[in-house]
Amino acid sequence: MCMKDVEVKNQVGLHARPATFFIQKANEYKSSIWVEKEERRVNAKSLLGILSLGIVGGANIRIIADGSDEQLAVDGLVKLVEGGFSE
Does residue 15 have an active-site annotation?
A: yes
From the candidates 15, 21, 42, 46, which is the catalytic residue? 15
Q: Strands 2-7, 32-37: parallel, antiparallel or unpaired by DSSP?
A: unpaired
Q: Distance between CA 70 and CA 32 in Å, rounded?
A: 8
Q: Are 43 and 49 in contact (CB under 8 A)?
A: yes
Active site residues: 15
